[in-house]
Amino acid sequence: MVNIVENNNTEAMNASEYALVDFNATWCGPCKMLGPVVEELSGEYAGKVDFYSVDVDDNPKLAEMYNVMNIPTLVVLKKGEKVAQTVGFQPKPVLAKWIEGAMA
């Protein structure tokens, strides 16, 4: 399950051992393509990684805090610290390998 972040609230995602944050926007085509992939991965990594979705238009401070310049951007956090970041649409196998690498 992907949790929606509202009001620039980072409390839940910073409390997670590992969190994947999907920075996106409703008008972004590649973001719409990536959404179902992130949703699938959230099921596969349940209990290992908490997944969050951040609309950059609704949460500009969060986007700025994590230096998000383009969307979609995925960020992996370990206890609130950024350990990996990738930009643009990626197929599921590539993202799964990227997540595993960020957790290594």
84 among known catalytic residues = no
28 among known catalytic residues = yes
Q: What is the pTM of this model?
A: 0.93
Cα 43 from chain centroid?
14
**Percentage of residues in the chain with pLDDT exceeding 70?**
100
Architecture of domain 2-96 in this structure: 3-Layer(aba) Sandwich (3.40)
Given pLDDT bands bounded at 50, 70 and 90, which one contains residue 16? confident
From the list 31, 41, 68, 77, the catalytic residue is 31
- In this prediction, residue 28 carries a pLDDT of 98
Strands (E), 1-104: 2-4, 18-24, 50-55, 73-78, 81-87
From the list 5, 13, 21, 28, the catalytic residue is 28
